[in-house]
Structure formats: C-alpha cells, structure tokens
Amino acid sequence: MEAMNLNIPVLALRGLTVFPHMTMTFDVERRISIRALERAMEGDQEIFLVTQREIGTETPEEKDLYAVGTISHITQILRLSKTSVRVMVEGRRRARLRRLWQTEPFLQANVEELEEPAQSEAFQRSPRTEALLRQTWNLFSEYAELAGSIPEEVVTTVMDGRDVGYLADFITQNIALRYDDKQEILEELAPFIRLRKLNGFLARECNVLGFEHEMEGKVRDQLARTQRDQILRTQIRVLQNELGEGEEGDDELDAYRQKIQALELDEDTTKHLLKEVTKLSKQPFGSAESAVIRNYLDVCLEIPWNTYTKERVSVDAARKVLEKDHYGLEKVKERILETIAVRQMNPEGKGQIICLVGPPGVGKTSIAISVAKALNRKLARLSLGGVRDEADIRGHRKTYIGSMPGRIIEAISSSGSMNPLLLLDEIDKMGNDYRGDPAAALLEVLDSEQNHSFRDHFLEIPVDLSKVMFITTANTTETIPRPLLDRMELIQISSYTDEEKVQIARRHLLPKQMEEHGLKKGSVRISDDVLRAVIRDYTRESGVRLLERRLAAICRKADMRMLSDGVKRITVTENDLPKLLDCQPYPPALHTEKEEIGVVNGLAWTEAGGEILEVEVNVMEGTGKLELTGNLGDVMKESAQAALSCLRSRAAVLGIPADFYKTKDIHVHFPEGAVPKDGPSAGIAMATAMLSALNDRKIKAGIAMTGEITLRGRVLPIGGLKEKSMAAKRNGIGTVLIPKDNVRDLEDIDQTVRAALRFVPVGTVDEVFAAALCPEAVQEEVAGCVAAFAPLPREKSGDAALRQ
C-alpha cells in the first residue's frame, strides 16, 4: 500500500517521546506549541509529535528535530494559565518528517506515514519469538524489582503481552530511559529487532541500578561507622571528665555563660543564648556543628548590648559644626538643627529617619558625617549601591556554610554602641533579583514603630534599633519603592549657586587641594573673578566635584612651574586658564546677545543643574507638515502639537494667515541632537518661536522663558526654577519669563540671582508674545510679494514685570 503524506501541525517535545497506541499527558508552555495545538483542534485533532535533538533549543528548525515521530490524537486540553496548557494525547501511528515548511506562528510539516512490517501467525508462535519474549519478561522483572517504582498494572500488562512490537513500545514508554534511547526504539520499524534493542537497554539499566544499590549500601555503612566513632568519642570525653582531664572544654563553656549573664539581656534572649551553650556542650569532639555554634555565640557577644554613647544634643554646638564644614544649604542645615532641637527637648524620643535627596556632589554624605560629629554619635556607613540580595540586610541563616549577620548588625557591632548614626548611602541604587528584594528588608529597619525588635536571620533574637539614627542619601526618589519612601522624611538638597561655589572653593576646596599638592598658604593666588571664570567656563554641574578637580589641575601646574622655573609665588589670571585647563569645554553662549527670527532661548533642568535650551523654527512652503527633531521625548512632542494648535486657534488675532497649517511646513529643531530631551516646560518657547517664524518678527535679545502651554493659551507652572534661573544668569540672560504660579518659588532663589535677573510672570501666551517679540514688524519680499504684519501691542511698563 502506498504511504500517505500529510500536512499537519507539529509539536516539538523536549525530553519526551510518544509511542503509537500509548496515552501521555504533559504540559505545554511555548507559544509556537500552544498555537500548534489550537490549529490541530480546529481540524481533525491530529498533531505530529516529534522530539528535539537538544532540550535547550527554544525555537527549533528542521535540523533540530528527529526524523521520526508519532501522529497523535488530542483527547483533552486543560488551560492552566495564560501561558501554559496541559494536554492529553493518544499516539496513533509512526511517521517520518519530510519537510518542515513553516516555523511561525507554529510549526507545520509534510510527514509520511510509516507502516510496520506485518507479522504472520507462524512468526508470532515461533520458538525464536518465544525466547525473545521470555528474555524480555525476565529482564523487565529484574528491572521492576530494582527500580521499585513500576506500577502493578504496568507489570501485569507486560507479563500478559504477546505482541512483540506493542510490547517493545509499551515497556519503553513506561520506564526511565534517556530520550535518545527511546527515540532509537521509536525509529525501529521491525518489531523483532525493536524488542531486541529494548532488551539491550533493559540489561544496561539493570546493571546501573545494581551499582546504585551497591553504592547506597556503602554510604549506609560509612554513616554507621561515623555514628560509632561519635559514640566512642563521647564516651572518651565522659571518661576524661571523670579523670579530671576535660576542664578546658568546661572553662570555655563557663566563660560563655558568664559573658551572657553579664550582658543582663531580657529573659528570652538570655535563655536562647544559654540554650546554645548547652547544645555546644553536647556536641562530639571536632564536629562541624560545634564550630557553627561557637561562631554564632561569638557574633552575638560582639554586639554592644546595653552600650550607649552619651549624646551631645546642643543646637548651638551642632550649628557651629555645620557652619564650619558646609557653606550654603541654609534650609538643609535648619532642618537638621530642628531635628537636634527635638532631641534636646525629648531625649527619650525615637530615632529619626531622614533621607537627603539631591544631585551628585552637593554634600549629602558629608552632611551626615557632620551630623554624627555634632551629636557625638558613632558613625557607620553602609553603601547600598548595587546591593541585590535580601541577605545583605537581614543576614543568612546560621545553618549555611559561611553564614554571617546582615550589614545592619555588622554596622552596629563595628560602631561599638547601640545608638550610632547609620548612614545608608545610595539607597536609590539598590536592585533586586531571585534572591529577594533588599528594599523590602529595609522596611522594618526604617520604621520607628517596628525596629525596636528587628530580627536578623543569623541572630534569630530581637535587636532594638529604635535608638539608632538613620540618615539615607539618594540622587532621586523615582527608583525608591513607595513603601520605603513613606518611612523616611525627605530633605531636598538643590544645586549650589555660582556665588556659593565661589565661597566653597575659597574656604574649603582650594586650601584642601593646596595642602594635598604641597603648596604653602599664599603661594598660589586665585581671585574670586578667576574662580567665577572656572565655574562658568570649565564646569557644568550641581555640586563641586568637577570644580575641585579643576582646582587640583591648577595646583599640579603650579607645582610644575615652581619646580622648573624656580618661582616662589604664582598668581593665576583669567588669561592663564586656557593654558592651565586646556580649551573651554563650555564656551559662553552667543545666542543671547542678538535679536533673531524663530530662535528662542528656553530653559531646561538636568541633573547637573540648569541649561539654556535653544528652540529653532523654520517655516517653508509646503503642505502643512510639522517636523520635530532634536531627540525629543513623547511629552515634548505633544507640547509642540499643543503650541501649534494654540497658534491656529488665534491666527486672526496674531496676524498670521488662517490657512498657514495647510500651506506651510513648520520644522521645530532643538540643537545638540544627541542629547535626549523631554518635558512640557518648553511649550511657550516653541509657541513663541513658531509665531516669530510665521510672521517674521524678531525675538528680543537677552530673554529666556520657561512654562507649559495649553490649547487655550494658558501658561502652567514648571519645576526646577532655581536651577533654570541660575543657568539664565550664567549665560548672560537679562529677562526671564516664568509662569505666574511660579512666583512663589522666587523666595527660594539666591539673592544674587534675583538681583541680576528681571522676572516677568505670565499667565497667557498673549502676555508671552507681548513680552518676547520685538514691536517692529520685519518686511521681507517673499515670492514677489511684500508681506507685512502688524506689530503686537507694546508691553506696558511695570504691568507684567516683576523685578527681584
């Protein structure tokens, strides 16, 4: 009879083999396999089951599959979850994979059914067949006895079986063979040869199981000998004690008991530790368990139980320390002093949990160190950056090899007191993986209502953390889990102003670098104007780390000149900076000094402080396309769309053609295209630039703006006004347009910046256009026509301006 070819869905099995006339249940999770099952259920419920050559292959191709499989009928499907189903199949007949012609969205192949050679009645009753069956029955009986896990019904079916081919398939399906061995049985079409191969595998498995039983017996004998040795060693210790030779061990146990009693801990803790000592006394000589118990007792006794340092809660003393160590940061210092004042009024109060949040280099860690110095508390610093294991916080169970307590307990032990100041640095840099979430372990530590009985996994006894003062630092709160953030009181540390940086450089950084570079006081003279030039042209940061490196570079060059030229004193001028610090990485901006069309100075906030963000707009003849370039985020793109819609709704009032959105292409570009930009605060800047380009009106020189725009032309408040205003002053801007709702934020801006800038609060885009656009219209010949637009109303002096 001619073999039949079928186009059929394929399910690739990993480590499984299905035989004809057998029923099997297995779970399916791969997307392509689930879709193959769904495809089969839509048809005649038949599917081709074939085994993969390598279990780890996720998306198998034809070369990854065996050639022979089983055409099976799906009898039942049970969905376990969204990504997993359990399927019951019944094998029908063998088939050969001719071509796998589809791999997506599921496997589908052209297969050829394989017919087994027919067995005559005489062949089935021949002595040769009877001998093969008897050999199979004997080997299977031996295997079932050694394995011990073969169901009784399987044994019964095998002993009653007379069909050579079916018996080979049935035994192979129900014993633990490697999947490649099962595949070899499946691929063999001749029943007699198939059963003979199976007998070879059964004989091998019987030998393997015999060796396993032999090794288990040896292990049991070894354990019995070990227990016998322990019993004998215990008897020896008893005899030594009777003879007075076991005093050394007793002295160690007595020392442990005396130390525990001297700690005067609560009753439960004392009882727990004494129980561990008793357990140690019962351990056989040299056992591993005794070393674990000794290590546990040593760690517990190293903790400074009931040891507290005398706290110096003096607001005046703390103010002196903070003023000496830090310049500026007035609000932060005031908040720290308020905390100390509360401690002075209520010494028995619970420990405070403070989180200092600010950009890098503004002094978060050094503030915490100064607080510890002011309070006369021991300081322990834990860097949490990159911590991903919960056991780093809570410790490991003492039963593990190499176990140790968590970082909190280690920090308290190293500090030597139960009321230290623990500095948890970079709390926003913690991660998590399969070993747990360390942030979740900190929830109990940083909760004054719970941490009076903190339990470390290693100690297993409560430790009182209520007297500990916690200070955490972070660059941002976005990556801190909300429950953890809720347990801390946030203190925001903003960027330093340029004047504050000058004072910090003068008082702290320059003397420190001169000392580190071996320069005597007065040997290098740098005026405040030169420091301002270094800050303005050679640094771009919120803190002072880069500024310190620039000063270190000047000191190195001074060392070289003193050694090579023999000079005793060096005075650094602004003209010397290019030679000392190479070229200016941040040259002064030129776009603030002239009036231009379609170019507006926006203000942006970054982690390094404020920046001037130019907006350029070009208008060309076209079909009304709006092109946005400059590596913009989704929010900024939507803000540009809102600005365009606002202009379209006011076209008649603004003096621009009503159909400009049909006849003009508008291209909005933000320079420095490699830098990602996002946020809504450039809305009024984009609207102003678009209007300027549409009616050819210049933007006033020395003006910058920030504010979110709405479709109705309202100007909404923004964040980061302090940093943005500092950027405006640094770049020579004279006038800054801000939303009216941000006027309240002017109190937080440095007096020097407020005096140097003219702040114009605006509530609508009409006020923005009146303040930003030049009153004269520019007449320009375009395509043979002269287009002149009426000027906007002049800005009334004193109405929209707020000079600080």
State pTM to two decimals.
0.59
Q: Is 674 exposed, middle or buried (0-12, 13-18, 19+ CB in 10 A)?
A: exposed
Residue 296 host element (H or E): helix 288-302
Flag whether 783 is in a domain. Answer: yes
Tell me the C-alpha distance between 733 and 585, whole Å: 20
Q: Percentage of residues in the chain with pLDDT exceeding 70?
A: 92
Q: How far apart are the first and last CA of the chain?
A: 101
Average pLDDT over residues 299-323: 83
| 184 shares its domain with 329 | no
- DSSP, collapsed to helix, strand or coil, labels residue 258 as helix
- Could you tell me which residues come within 8 angstroms of residue 291 by beta carbon, excluding any fewer than 6 positions away? none
Q: Percentage of residues in the chain with pLDDT exceeding 90?
A: 9
What is the sign, positive or negative, of the torsion defined by CA atoms of 319, 322, 328, 333?
negative
**Confidence label for 790 from pLDDT (cuts 50, 70 and 90):** very low
Lowest mean per-residue pLDDT among 104-118, 307-321, 573-587, 772-786: 772-786
Tell me the C-alpha distance between 27 and 32, whole Å: 14
How high is the pLDDT of residue 351? Answer: 65
What residue type is assigned to position 221 of the chain?
Answer: D
Map tokens 């950056």 to a residue.
385
Flag whether 80 is in a domain. Answer: yes
CA distances from 249 to 243, 471, 611 (A): 14, 45, 72
Flag whether 234 is in a domain. Answer: no
| 338 shares its domain with 419 | yes
Flag whether 209 is in a domain. Answer: no
| 129 shares its domain with 255 | no
Q: What is the CATH number of the domain that holds 369?
A: 3.40.50.300
CA distances from 384 to 388, 414, 437, 440 (A): 9, 17, 12, 13
- DSSP, collapsed to helix, strand or coil, labels residue 736 as strand
CA distances from 49 to 87, 186, 498, 704 (A): 12, 12, 73, 70
Give me the torsion for CA of 664, 665, 666, 671, rounded to 10°. -150
Query: Domain of 771?
Result: 596-803
Tell me the C-alpha distance between 193 and 212, whole Å: 29
The alpha-helical segments, DSSP class H, found in 376-519 are 391-394, 407-415, 438-445, 482-486, 498-504, 510-516
Q: Of 204, 231, 261, at which residue does a domain stop?
A: 204
| 298 shares its domain with 338 | no
Tell me the C-alpha distance between 274 and 198, whole Å: 63
CB atoms within 10 A of CB 372: 21
| 343 shares its domain with 387 | yes
Q: What is the CATH number of the domain that holds 37?
A: 2.30.130.40
| 72 shares its domain with 188 | no
pLDDT at 683 > cutoff 60: yes
Q: What is the CATH number of the domain that holds 165?
A: 1.20.58.1480
The alpha-helical segments, DSSP class H, found in 650-744 are 651-654, 660-663, 683-695, 721-730
- DSSP, collapsed to helix, strand or coil, labels residue 600 as strand
- Could you tell me which residues come within 8 angstroms of residue 733 by beta carbon, excluding any fewer than 6 positions away? 592, 601, 612, 702, 703, 704, 757
Tell me the C-alpha distance between 470 and 423, whole Å: 6
How high is the pLDDT of residue 690? Answer: 92
Tell me the C-alpha distance between 501 and 45, whole Å: 77
Strand pairing of 421-425 and 469-474? parallel
How high is the pLDDT of residue 592? Answer: 62
Asked if 660 and 621 touch (Cβ cutoff 8 Å), the reply is no
Strand partners, 736: 704, 759
Flag whether 771 is in a domain. Answer: yes
Q: What is the CATH number of the domain that holds 605?
A: 3.30.230.10
pLDDT at 161 > cutoff 80: no
- DSSP, collapsed to helix, strand or coil, labels residue 724 as helix
Tell me the C-alpha distance between 457 and 736, whole Å: 57
Tell me the C-alpha distance between 31 and 106, whole Å: 8
Q: Tens digit of pLDDT for each residue in 237-291? A: 677 666 655 555 567 788 888 888 888 888 888 888 888 888 887 777 667 788 8
Q: Of 441, 467, 492, at which residue does a domain stop?
A: 492
Asked if 594 and 547 touch (Cβ cutoff 8 Å), the reply is no
| 39 shares its domain with 107 | yes
pLDDT at 122 > cutoff 80: no
* DSSP code for 461: S
- Report which of 146, 137, 216, 219 is spatially closest to residue 176, judged by C-alpha positions: 146
How high is the pLDDT of residue 120? Answer: 67
Strand pairing of 84-102 and 23-28? antiparallel
What are the backbone angles phi and psi of residue 455, rounded to the nearest 5°?
Answer: -110, 115
- Could you tell me which residues come within 8 angstroms of residue 690 by beta carbon, excluding any fewer than 6 positions away? 598, 617, 619, 643, 644, 647, 666, 668
Of 681, 698, 729, 740, which residue is the catalytic one? 681
Q: For this structure, is 724 an active site residue? A: yes
Tell me the C-alpha distance between 760 and 797, whole Å: 11
Tell me the C-alpha distance between 298 and 202, whole Å: 57
Map tokens 């001037």 to a residue.
612
How high is the pLDDT of residue 164? Answer: 80
| 72 shares its domain with 170 | no
Lowest mean per-residue pLDDT among 43-47, 684-688, 781-785: 781-785
Tell me the C-alpha distance between 317 and 779, whole Å: 69
Flag whether 119 is in a domain. Answer: no
Angle at CA of residue 662, ends 657 and 665, nearest 5°: 95
How high is the pLDDT of residue 415? Answer: 86
| 325 shares its domain with 428 | yes
Asked if 206 and 141 touch (Cβ cutoff 8 Å), the reply is no
Counted domains in the chain: 6
Q: For this structure, is 414 an active site residue? A: no
- Report which of 135, 152, 154, 153 is spatially closest to residue 202, judged by C-alpha positions: 135
CA distances from 375 to 333, 343, 683, 705, 725 (A): 14, 10, 48, 45, 36
Tell me the C-alpha distance between 85 and 74, whole Å: 13
Asked if 317 and 340 touch (Cβ cutoff 8 Å), the reply is no
| 513 shares its domain with 381 | no
Tell me the C-alpha distance between 642 and 686, whole Å: 10
Flag whether 241 is in a domain. Answer: no
How high is the pLDDT of residue 787? Answer: 36
| 751 shares its domain with 786 | yes
What is the average pLDDT score of the chain?
Answer: 82
Tell me the C-alpha distance between 770 and 800, whole Å: 10
pLDDT at 711 > cutoff 50: yes
pLDDT at 784 > cutoff 70: no
CB atoms within 10 A of CB 213: 11
Q: Of 85, 113, 141, at which residue does a domain stop?
A: 113
Of 364, 373, 378, 724, which residue is the catalytic one? 724
**Confidence label for 363 from pLDDT (cuts 50, 70 and 90):** confident
- Contacts of 314-321 with CB under 8 Å at 24 or more apart are 314/340, 314/344, 315/340, 315/341, 315/344, 317/374, 318/371, 318/374, 318/375, 321/370, 321/373, 321/374
Average pLDDT over residues 470-499: 85
| 139 shares its domain with 185 | yes
Strand pairing of 735-739 and 758-762? parallel
- Could you tell me which residues come within 8 angstroms of residue 160 by beta carbon, excluding any fewer than 6 positions away? none
**Confidence label for 591 from pLDDT (cuts 50, 70 and 90):** low
For residue 237 the two structure tokens come to: 């210790």
- Could you tell me which residues come within 8 angstroms of residue 4 by beta carbon, excluding any fewer than 6 positions away? 112, 113
pLDDT at 495 > cutoff 80: no
Say what angle helices 127-147 and 164-174 make with each other, to 10 degrees: 10
Map tokens 């009931």 to a residue.
306
Q: Tens digit of pLDDT for each residue in 449-466? A: 777 888 888 888 888 888
The alpha-helical segments, DSSP class H, found in 307-348 are 315-325, 330-345
pLDDT at 54 > cutoff 70: yes
Flag whether 29 is in a domain. Answer: yes
How high is the pLDDT of residue 639? Answer: 92
Lowest mean per-residue pLDDT among 17-31, 364-378, 397-411, 790-804: 790-804
Lowest mean per-residue pLDDT among 189-198, 505-514, 624-633, 701-710: 189-198
pLDDT at 778 > cutoff 80: no
How high is the pLDDT of residue 61? Answer: 87
